[in-house]
């Protein structure tokens, strides 16, 4: 009998997901001249800073309303107002995003009302304060991210006259990925409004003046004009409709929505380029065709190696879907696909990737690494792709890990991991192949010796 890989129902042992407010903060960090106030106990902002700083290797300023026991009884409005006063004096932001926490949501704090009163009392001009509700018991980092992006768009967009620009709404991707999307749009000659743009805010180069609020990010004026765009391309393939910013733009302003997977993998990237072409009717430049050609060449080079890989892919649903698609198109059919959250679309879309093949991956939602590890061992997984939480798979089960997504805490350069576009796909593909080959070279001779010599020629590779 096959042992049940999920014998537990209550124990969440070694989590695969981070909390909802962190996703909200991540989105707000991609808005120009913005600051974030986490309305709750100060530990939340300190923990989120710790997590983000270790991933991005950048200063990350997240303010807190620092609620104490007294405010949990009498309400946190006074602290909230003091917090806003101080942020405005010291940081001079144009946008302040207020994310809530499990503390203030349980208290029932009405941040929308509190912001209204504050703005009326202070008669501030030029500062937008935007409430974003992120109770960590109602979702994960993924839901927090989409909620924040949608709320920002709802807040800023107005009816504007149609223009030639294209909206690009990205999922949680790295600053390097963000730069890659912008580069491709430039090569295609397409004017884009990219939300949220963390390309500079969470990856500052040396040589520019150090300021408390980093340069870059999507300008609020640009978000305001998103309702007049020719179309929206959104990398929110698994994003549920009620959270979908692109869906909102479509319903409210009639902006056609191309809701497509993250452009990791040849097919996904082709979908992105095709969407740009069909929206703008512009030709694909030769330089992009060359990049595509190099990727195809690399896929041909790597196909034998990749076909041996039985990967486990886990993390944020968007990344997991796109990376799984990359694996499938290269013959490395995932043995296991997991996410720490749950979504109505996730399983369906993953299954549709492999429906024509003989092998179907095991799909885990609301997974933890105890479940992922047990299933991986049972399914003969020989490589994992995902964030650094999966290091336990290496430690406990000897499965080599390709780090991608958020967070990457035990290696340098989380902010620079490039997985998008033909070029990013190529580099991810090489990393996957080479990580597998390194393991193979390390163990191949011993395994063959065991098979052919110790066991007297009886082939028993799979035990």
Partner 1 sequence: MAINHEVLDKILLPYPDKVKKNRIKHIVRKNPEEGCQQIEANTRTIPGIISQRGCCYAGCKGVVVGPIKDMITITHGPVGCGYYSWGTRRNKARADENTPPEQIYGAMCFITDMQEPDIVFGGEKKLAKMIDEVVEIFHPRAINICATCPIGLIGDDLGAVAKAASERHKIQVLSYNCEGYKGVSQSAGHHIANNMLLEHVIGTGDAKSEPEKYVINILGEYNIGGDSWEIERILHDIGYTIQGVLTGDSSYEEIKNIHIANLNLVMCHRSINYIAEMMEEKYGTPWLKVNFIGVEATKKSLRDLAQVTGDETFIRKTEEVIAREDSVVLPVLEQYRKICAGKIAFAFVGGSRSHHYQHLLRDLGMEVVVAGYEFAHRDDYEGRQVIPTIKLDADTKNIPELDIKPDPERYQEAHVHLNLSKEKYDEICSRIPLGYYEGMYPDMKSGNLMIDDCNHYEAEILVKRLKPDLFFAGVRDKYIAQKMGIPAKQLHSYDYSGPYAGFTGAMNFARDVAHAMTTPAWRLITPPWEKETKEPGDNNA
Residues numbered 140 to 199 that lie near partner 1 (CB under 8 A) are 140
- For partner 1, which residue of 150, 179, 204, 271 counts as binding (CB under 8 A)? 204
Kindly state whether residue 397 participates in binding partner 1, applying the rule CB under 8 A: no
* Burial label, 413 (beta-carbon count in 10 A; 0-12, 13-18, 19+): middle
- For partner 1, which residue of 25, 27, 102, 384 counts as binding (CB under 8 A)? 102
Kindly state whether residue 207 participates in binding partner 1, applying the rule CB under 8 A: yes
- Closest separation in Å from C-beta 46 to partner 1: 5
Asked if 336 contacts 375 with a C-beta cutoff of 8 angstroms, the reply is yes
Kindly state whether residue 46 participates in binding partner 1, applying the rule CB under 8 A: yes
- Closest separation in Å from C-beta 211 to partner 1: 9
Kindly state whether residue 51 participates in binding partner 1, applying the rule CB under 8 A: yes
Backbone angles phi, psi at 232, to 5 degrees: -120, 130
Over the window 212 to 241, marking each residue x when it contacts partner 1 by CB under 8 A and - when it does not, the resulting string is: x-----------------------------
Kindly state whether residue 242 participates in binding partner 1, applying the rule CB under 8 A: no
Kindly state whether residue 259 participates in binding partner 1, applying the rule CB under 8 A: no
Using DSSP's 3-state secondary structure scheme, residue 42 falls into helix
Would you say 50 or 296 has its CB closer to partner 1?
A: 50
CA distance 87 to 83: 6
Over the window 281 to 320, marking each residue x when it contacts partner 1 by CB under 8 A and - when it does not, the resulting string is: ----------------------------------------
- For partner 1, which residue of 123, 159, 210, 461 counts as binding (CB under 8 A)? 210
Binding footprint of partner 1, residue count (CB under 8 A)? 75
Kindly state whether residue 86 participates in binding partner 1, applying the rule CB under 8 A: yes
CA distance 340 to 327: 20
Kindly state whether residue 89 participates in binding partner 1, applying the rule CB under 8 A: yes
* Burial label, 171 (beta-carbon count in 10 A; 0-12, 13-18, 19+): buried
Asked if 149 contacts 24 with a C-beta cutoff of 8 angstroms, the reply is no
Contact region with partner 1 (CB under 8 A), list: 207-215, 225-233, 312-320, 331-339: 207-215
Structure token pair of residue 397: 């089960």
- Closest separation in Å from C-beta 433 to partner 1: 28
C-alpha torsion angle, residues 302, 303, 304, 305 (rounded to 10): 50
- For partner 1, which residue of 26, 27, 31, 48 counts as binding (CB under 8 A)? 48
CB atoms within 10 A of CB 73: 8
Residue with tokens 């999307």: 181
Would you say 60 or 335 has its CB closer to partner 1?
A: 60
Pairing assessment for the beta strands 166-169 and 231-234 based on DSSP bridges: parallel
Kindly state whether residue 68 participates in binding partner 1, applying the rule CB under 8 A: yes
CA distance 27 to 141: 10
H or E, element range at 318: helix 317-329
Which 319-348 residues touch partner 1, going by CB under 8 A? 340
Kindly state whether residue 22 participates in binding partner 1, applying the rule CB under 8 A: yes
Residue with tokens 């000659």: 189
267 CB-side CA count, 13 A = 12
Contact region with partner 1 (CB under 8 A), list: 83-91, 146-154, 248-256, 378-386: 83-91
343: which residues sit within 8 A by CB, 6+ positions away?
142, 238, 239, 240, 317, 365
- Closest separation in Å from C-beta 324 to partner 1: 23
Structure token pair of residue 160: 């504007």
- For partner 1, which residue of 27, 32, 67, 295 counts as binding (CB under 8 A)? 67
Which 358-387 residues touch partner 1, going by CB under 8 A? none
Asked if 462 contacts 456 with a C-beta cutoff of 8 angstroms, the reply is no
């Amino acid at each position: 009998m096959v042992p049940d890989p999920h014998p537990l129902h209550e124990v969440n042992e070694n989590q695969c997901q981070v909390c909802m407010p962190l996703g909200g903060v991540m989105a707000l960090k991609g808005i120009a001249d913005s600051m974030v106030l986490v309305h709750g106990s100060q530990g939340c902002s300190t923990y989120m800073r710790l997590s983000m700083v270790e991933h991005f290797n950048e200063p990350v300023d997240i303010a807190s309303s620092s609620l104490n026991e007294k405010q949990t009884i009498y309400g946190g409005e006074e602290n909230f107002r003091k917090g806003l006063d101080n942020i405005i004096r010291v940081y001079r932001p144009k946008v302040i995003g207020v994310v809530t926490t499990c503390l203030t949501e349980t208290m029932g704090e009405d941040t929308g009302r509190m912001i209204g009163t504050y703005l009326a009392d202070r008669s501030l001009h030029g500062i937008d304060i935007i409430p974003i509700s992120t109770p960590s018991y109602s979702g994960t980092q993924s839901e927090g991210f989409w909620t924040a992006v949608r709320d920002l768009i709802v807040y800023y967009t107005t009816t504007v006259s149609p223009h030639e620009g294209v909206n690009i709404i990205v999922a949680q991707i790295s600053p390097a990925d963000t730069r890659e999307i912008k580069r491709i749009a430039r090569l295609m000659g397409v004017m884009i409004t990219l939300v949220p743009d963390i390309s500079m805010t969470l990856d500052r180069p040396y040589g520019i003046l150090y300021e408390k609020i980093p340069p870059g990010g999507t300008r609020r004026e640009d978000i305001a004009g998103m309702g007049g765009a020719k179309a929206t391309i959104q990398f929110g393939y698994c994003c549920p409709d009620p959270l979908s910013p692109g869906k909102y733009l479509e319903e409210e302003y009639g902006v056609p929505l191309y809701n497509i997977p993250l452009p990791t993998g040849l097919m996904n990237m082709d979908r992105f380029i095709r969407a740009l072409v069909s929206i703008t009717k512009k030709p694909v430049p030769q330089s992009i065709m060359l990049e595509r050609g190099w990727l195809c060449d690399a896929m041909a080079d790597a196909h034998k190696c990749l076909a041996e890989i039985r990967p486990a892919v886990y993390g944020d649903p968007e990344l997991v879907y796109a990376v799984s698609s990359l694996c499938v198109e290269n013959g490395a059919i995932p043995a296991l696909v997991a996410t720490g959250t749950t979504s109505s679309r996730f399983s369906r879309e993953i299954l549709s990737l492999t429906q024509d093949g003989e092998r179907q991956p095991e799909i885990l939602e609301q997974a933890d690494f105890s479940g992922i590890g047990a299933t991986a061992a049972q399914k003969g997984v020989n490589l994992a792709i995902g964030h650094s939480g999966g290091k336990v798979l290496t430690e406990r089960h000897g499965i080599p890990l390709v780090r991608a997504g958020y967070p990457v805490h035990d290696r340098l350069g989380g902010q620079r991991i490039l997985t998008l576009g033909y070029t990013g796909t190529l580099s991810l593909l090489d990393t996957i192949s080479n990580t597998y080959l390194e393991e193979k070279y390390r163990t191949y001779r011993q395994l063959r010796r065991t098979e052919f010599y110790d066991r007297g020629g009886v082939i028993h590779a799979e035990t």
